[in-house]
Amino acid sequence: MTAAPFKLLAILAHPDDESLGIGGTFAKYASEGVETHLVCATRGERGWFGAPEDNPGPFALGQIREQELHAAAATLGIRSVRFLDECDGDLDRANPARVIARIVAHIREIRPDVVITFAPDGAYGHPDHVAISQLATTAIVAANDECYLTGGQLSHQVQALYYVVFRNDENAIYAEAFGDLVMQVDGVKRRSISWPEWAITTQIDTSDHWRTVWQAITCHRTQLPSIDALSRLPETSHRTLWGNGTFYRALSFVNGGQTLVCLRCLGGAMGRVPEDATAYGNRAALYNLSIDATWSDPIQSDEMIAWTLHVWSEIQQETGTGIYLNFAGLGEDNGKLAQLAYRSNHDRLVQVKRKYDPTNLFRTNINIKP
């Protein structure tokens, strides 16, 4: 039996939001076998930056940008792209009930585990981004309500909703590329919002995929002025912008992730077991320190593993030589760890494993490999 693939859905406003906003996250998860989907509210048909006399008009431009989005999505490994057919620039004036019903129908059809949308600040106050944040958040609640009907579809509970947010260093690079990014709405100037470290719940390392993201961005050829400005940035800036995903976990039905660091005082009968009478030989230790990380949302794996390994590397220097090995599958050299843990018992355990479990049936506890 194979588990159903993990599904990620992003609900965004315009073609190019998927690449500029969360391209790295899309590319990383697609490369890991996650099924990724995109719902895009508009076709960006008002986003013309060329000479006015060359503007093909909103309908034709929408068609061109739809094709650009499909090309970017293919680059990022996005499985499906769906449009809400809303008007670019007018999303905050669209009928909310209609838009929410359409988003709910897509959620119930795709049945994603995790949804990503803009934060309520819309990255820099863009009214379409602000609107899609509110509409998508409402739709996630409605999709799980059995009394909210969409043509016979079953309700669906999304496990977690994340808002894409931006850090100060990212916004500084955008400012370097575009100058002072100001959006004037109702006579008020709106600028990029930088989220403080403490408010960011989730960082995803997408550094292996930054080139793919840049390739996806360049698919949006009608957005040439912004591509031009970004292309003048040094490689380090590109790596910073596309090499990480920064999120705020807004709604969650799953474990937020926790790490327990326990210090236990040993003693009693344990200390009287001879070293060679058991696999775990560190019987004379006075204390046992354990770092147990648990989480149930795959989007947190990088963050949780990195944090746990960091804690261990900080603490390790204060500990004795003995370690107790359990589920040490964090990309570490298991063979070396096993030798460290079992010391003089190691070779004997390898013999026992080879003799009684050559097919590695008991692989969940990966202490000794056959």
Structure tokens at 94: 């669209």
For the chain, the C-alpha Rg in angstroms (whole number) is 25
Stretch that binds Zn ion, among 7-15, 54-62, 131-139, 362-370 (CB under 5 A): 7-15
CB nearer to Zn ion: pick between 94 and 341: 94
Residue 286: CB minimum distance to Zn ion, A: 59
CB nearer to Zn ion: pick between 100 and 131: 131
> What angle separates helix 58-76 from helix 17-31, to the nearest 10 degrees?
30
CB nearer to Zn ion: pick between 13 and 204: 13
Between strands 182-185 and 188-191, the pairing is antiparallel
Residue 13: CB minimum distance to Zn ion, A: 5
88 binds Zn ion (CB under 5 A): no
CB nearer to Zn ion: pick between 193 and 305: 193
Stretch that binds Zn ion, among 16-24, 140-148, 176-184, 236-244 (CB under 5 A): 16-24
Residue 241: CB minimum distance to Zn ion, A: 15
Backbone phi and psi for residue 35, each to the nearest 5 degrees, phi listed first: -85, 115
How many residues at the interface with Zn ion, by CB under 5 A?
3
> What angle separates helix 334-342 from helix 346-356, to the nearest 10 degrees?
120
| Residues 144-203 interacting with Zn ion (rule: CB under 5 A) | none
Buried/exposed code over 304-343 (b: 16+ C-beta within 10 A; e: otherwise): beeebeeebeeeeeeeeebbbbeebeeeeebeebbeebbe
Q: Could you give the CA distance from residue 206 to residue 25 in angstroms, rounded to a whole number?
A: 6
Structure tokens at 266: 């040993």
Helices (H), 243-333: 301-316
Residue 165: CB minimum distance to Zn ion, A: 15
Q: Find the angle CA(299)-CA(304)-CA(307) to the nearest 5 degrees.
A: 145
CB-CB contact of 207 with 17 (8 Å)? no
Stretch that binds Zn ion, among 8-16, 66-74, 142-150, 177-185 (CB under 5 A): 8-16
Structure tokens at 194: 């930088």
Stretch that binds Zn ion, among 6-14, 85-93, 159-167, 242-250 (CB under 5 A): 6-14
Helices and strands per DSSP (H, E), number in the chain: 12, 11
Residue 17: CB minimum distance to Zn ion, A: 4
Residue 251: CB minimum distance to Zn ion, A: 22
Stretch that binds Zn ion, among 13-21, 84-92, 168-176, 237-245 (CB under 5 A): 13-21
CB nearer to Zn ion: pick between 128 and 303: 128
CB nearer to Zn ion: pick between 13 and 61: 13
13 binds Zn ion (CB under 5 A): yes
Q: Which residue is nearest to Zn ion (CB)?
A: 14
DSSP assignment string, 235-267: HHHHHHHHSEEEEEEEEESS---EEEEEEEE--
Residue 128: CB minimum distance to Zn ion, A: 6
Residue 364: CB minimum distance to Zn ion, A: 45
14 binds Zn ion (CB under 5 A): yes
Q: Which residues bind Zn ion (CB under 5 A)?
A: 13-14, 17
